[in-house]
Every structure is written in C-alpha cells, then in structure tokens.
Amino acid sequence: MPYREKSNLLALAAMLVAYVPYFAIVAATPVESAPMPNLPLLGLFAAVSILRMFVLGAGYLWFRVRTPDDVREKADERDRDIERKSMAVAYYVLIFGMILVACIMPFTHAGWSIVNAGLFAIVLAEVIRCIVAAWSYRRSAA
Amino acid sequence: MSGGAITNQIRTLRFLAGEMSQAELGQKIGVTRQTIAAIEAGKYSPTLEAAFRIAEVFDKPLDEVFQWVKGG
C-alpha cells in the first residue's frame, strides 16, 4: 500500500476516533440554551482535537520507523492528481455546509448549535477528503 | 465525444530493456513504483510530460509506447 494512501487512512482514522464521540455527545446534549462561550463543550472539543493530534503523531512516527524510505518519497503527479480531486470534492462539502450554517441556521437555531454545525461541516469535509483520496488510491492500484 | 482507451506497451518494453523493474523506471522519470504499476495496468493516464519521459527512457516514439484504442 502506498505511503500516501496509508497516511490518508491514518488521517481518516484519527478524525473518526476523535470526532465521532464528540458529535455523539453533542447530539445527545441539548446546548441551544447554553451560555456563550460554552466552556465545557469548548474544553471537550479541545480534548478531542488533542487526541486526534496524538493519534496522527503516533501513526506518523510508526510509519517513520517501519517504512522510512516511503516517508521520504516525494509526491508524484498521481499523488498530486488524487490530492486535487479529493480537495475539490471536500471543497463542495465545506461550501454547502457553510451556506447551511451561515445563511439558513441563523433563522432556525441559535448559539452553540450553529458553532457545532460549523465544526461538523469542517470535520465532514475533511473526512470526505480522506475517503475520496483513499478510494482513488485503491481504484488506481494495479 | 467518442469512447476509447489508452493502452500501452510498457510491460513489454521493460522486458526488452533487460527486465527493468517498475521502481527503476519510476526513478528514471520521477514517479513512484505504484504510479508506474497504475499506468501499466491502464488505471492511471500519465501527464503528457510523463508519457514523453517514459518514451525517452525506452528510446521509442510516443506512439510506440502509448496507443489510443477506439471504443465501440
């Protein structure tokens, strides 16, 4: 498996490990009336973000130890092509999410719900980027 | 736009070049072994520049390395 495919899968795993629990807690907790800034939720978001960085760091360290030559390998034209395509798909997800959050949600929701929806759009866009990249590598693997 | 596909003779040309490995060819044109494997299998179409570089490695004109096959 190419290094860049592995690093995309690692990024995807780190996102899922960190943010699935966060958004599950958010969905189960009514935060509409919570004061702004909602420090406990902000603290939880900071904690899961640190967890994500830790998973990423540990994964990259593992790659560096196990396959140092692969890590040093520069991105080639196929890597850049896959990155461009996955970024383009993620961009549309992000734009759609941001339009929803900034233009529609202010009429129906308030406060922390809007913040969380914005965070969810960002996380979803990144998850989609990783999935599209990993899938593109699989699809073009010989 | 009519259908079609790009085929290539890279596997044969590697064999004729003393069983050159995919990694060696990749190194010569500046791409990874996986990219050469994907090109060879017809799962990735290289840029025009990479195609010319591959042809140059085998000292062949471009149309002897890559062919356009019209689809039905």
Residue-wise pLDDT tens digits, A13-54: 999 999 999 999 888 887 666 666 778 888 999 999 999 999
Domain of residue B62 covers 4-70
Residues of A in contact with B10 (CB under 8 A): none
Residue B56 token pair: 């140059």
Q: In a 3-state reduction of DSSP, which class is residue B43?
A: coil
Bridge partners of B6, per DSSP, are: B68
Average pLDDT over residues A95-115: 91
Q: How many Cα atoms occupy the beta-carbon half-sphere of B1 within 13 Å? A: 3
What's the pTM? 0.84
Q: What is the ipTM of this complex?
A: 0.84
Q: List the single range of A47-56, A62-71, B17-26, B34-43 with lowest mean pLDDT.
A: A62-71
> What is the average pLDDT score of chain A?
90
Q: How far apart are CA A87 and CA B2, in angstroms?
A: 29
The number of distinct structural domains making up chain B is 1
Q: Do A78 and B31 touch (CB under 8 A)?
A: yes
Report chain B's C-alpha Rg in angstroms. Answer: 12
Chain A residue with Cα closest to B50: A77
Q: Which residue has the higher pLDDT, A5 or A87?
A: A87
Q: How far apart are CA A45 and CA A67, in angstroms?
A: 32
Q: How far apart are CA B29 and CA A44, in angstroms?
A: 48
Of A76, A139, A140, the CB nearest to B31: A76
Residues of A in contact with B38 (CB under 8 A): 78, 140-142
Q: In a 3-state reduction of DSSP, which class is residue B4?
A: strand
Write down the pLDDT at residue A32. 64
Q: How far apart are CA A122 and CA A100, in angstroms?
A: 12
Q: Do A141 and B30 touch (CB under 8 A)?
A: no
